[in-house]
Structure 1
């Protein structure tokens, strides 16, 4: 009997264990879902939602509400990494006469570069508009053509646009643009803060009222172009001042205009006795400016940009922009489509109440 009892107990235990096992197998497990790696702030959401496409090349417009000085970069390359991109061309000129002839023209010559025109208004600086190359924001060419179809989280790279700018104008009519050159020799000063080639443009637009303030500001930095393309910068303002800033033989050189215009392409002016004959685009620009004595309006300035556009090679012209410094306007042609020029004004954006273009 005892043996039989033990057998029955064992059989009951096996049955009970088996029943428990089946029961456990049918229970749906609770899965702990991790939170998203990043949640947009209200300002970031508003920024990304402001995106508008205004040209099929494409060109987008975006208003930046986030404080980019402290914002996240979303695994973007550093400005120095962006500076390493090969083959920049570029043609720059400023005409410095009366209000109707106070213009800054610029061709950005590079590989295919869809762009976003970004309006920024930092809490500790001046409002400005600037052109940013979307390719530096980790978007493929195919994705860049359909940003409007993407959900906000897939547009996140655009939050880095204020750090990747190549030309722009601030609320006081100060314009700055870069161009690549064969050499730029900077000398480090340990007492000064380091700044990269693209960060320099951001600092100028945010914190300089005019050319004089911009030059003083640049002198206060260690401009670090190591690991990136050598650059020089043409600056002009609504007061009719213009300078070309270069870094040559360990010095910062500030070259003022000798005529009521200024210009630059892709050679170092400080390294040559006569700038004529060093670049066909530079020669064409200055021939036209001499011929007209700088009397170009926005349309004729855009026409001149079309004449020096690079239509083939590694760096065809990606965008042409004419900044009207007195009126705070800009006209943009993408991809050498000069029959389709988009015009924008700083007043098109939501400027603070204190802003006055006069």
Structure 2
């Protein structure tokens, strides 16, 4: 009887080892990804090194996603293994600009303004794309001040972080940031690839080496704006190119930076026939004056000072909630580095590099 029990226990142990090994083989990269999560600032900013395949190529090959719900279904089925998720992208106000250092480095500055949200610096290195670092608003994944990715179980939803990035830079020195426009949501409906606001940005970061490649990609896809809102984008690259992307009556508009010119953006449209529609003219004027006075030449710290000058901390007229800058980031598109500040704490700068 004792021998039988021992054999049974050894058999159960062997089965358990096999199950654990199989689980590790199936989900090893996801486990490594979740285990990489670190808290980098007490304001609620985290970092993650994405080791798993987040399925962008599969999403694109399947035709993409024409709504947030379709993107959620893809993420739930392919990244979260069936765990429920609901995207909730809130209204936000932002500022972006391009500058150049005395040494010739091209910079891209960005403020993300909203009521309090936790955030995550996301490093990705896909097999069939460019490595990148981006900053994600993980409140979209259900995180808040009371629920943060502080342990393995609570970190599982962070597997969807690549699809909720709001700005970023890839290893080729291409950067992009999205800014809200209070207008009818863009819904392009042709026979092209369908992507939502954030999945389009992920596609561009993974596949575009420069601004012109990104423009061509956008010309060959249908944009479906997320969260029943409208957006425009500023893009910049390591060669000094910059362009603003807007959608007017569902038509793509490209406003390229003039040779030897300057480009910056807030939350109003700059296409000539609708110029001024939206908000942020006061911040735009500060960006314009500072960049013009300095002929577009700013150091990384001077660029962060400019982001501080246009940062926000006020009560929103629309929602009655506090609107404050949740993060400021200066991407160095030449060196492929970033300086990041969380929660307007400009005395504490987080430095990140794409160097492998």
Q: TM-score range by the shorter chain?
A: 0.7 to 0.9
1:45 aligned to which of 19, 23, 31: 31
- TM-score by length of structure 1 reads 0.79
- Cα distance, 1:250 vs. partner? 2.9
1:119-138 map, 5 Å: 119-138=123-142
- Cα distance, 1:312 vs. partner? 1.6
- Could you say which residue in structure 1 is the equivalent of 2:268? 267
- Could you say which residue in structure 1 is the equivalent of 2:61? none
Give the unaligned 5+ runs of structure 2: 1-18, 59-77, 316-321
- Cα distance, 1:96 vs. partner? 4.6
- Could you say which residue in structure 2 is the equivalent of 1:55? 41
1:323 aligned to which of 321, 325, 331: 331
Q: How many angstroms apart in 2 are the aligned matches of 1:55 and 1:215? A: 35
After superposing the two structures, state which structure 1 stretch, 296-305 or 278-287, moved more: 278-287
4+ aligned runs moved over 3 Å, structure 1: 96-101, 184-187, 271-275
Q: How many angstroms apart in 1 are the aligned matches of 2:226 and 2:353? A: 36
After superposing the two structures, state which structure 1 stretch, 64-73 or 204-213, moved more: 64-73
Secondary structure, aligned partner of 1:90 = strand
1:336 aligned to which of 333, 340, 344: 344
- Cα distance, 1:230 vs. partner? 0.4
After superposing the two structures, state which structure 1 stretch, 211-220 or 62-71, moved more: 62-71
From the superposition, tell whether residues 99 and 221 of structure 1 become closer, same or farther in structure 2 (CA, over 3 Å): farther
Q: How many angstroms apart in 1 are the aligned matches of 2:353 and 2:211? A: 21
Secondary structure, aligned partner of 1:326 = coil
Secondary structure, aligned partner of 1:205 = helix
- Could you say which residue in structure 2 is the equivalent of 1:215? 215
- Could you say which residue in structure 1 is the equivalent of 2:14? none
Secondary structure, aligned partner of 1:312 = strand
Between structure 1 and structure 2, the one with the greater Rg is 1
Contact 1:95/1:260 (8 A) holds in 2: no
Contact 1:131/1:166 (8 A) holds in 2: yes
Secondary structure, aligned partner of 2:339 = strand
After superposing the two structures, state which structure 1 stretch, 278-287 or 182-191, moved more: 182-191
- Could you say which residue in structure 2 is the equivalent of 1:296? 298
- Could you say which residue in structure 2 is the equivalent of 1:8? none
What is the number of residues matched between the two proteins?
304
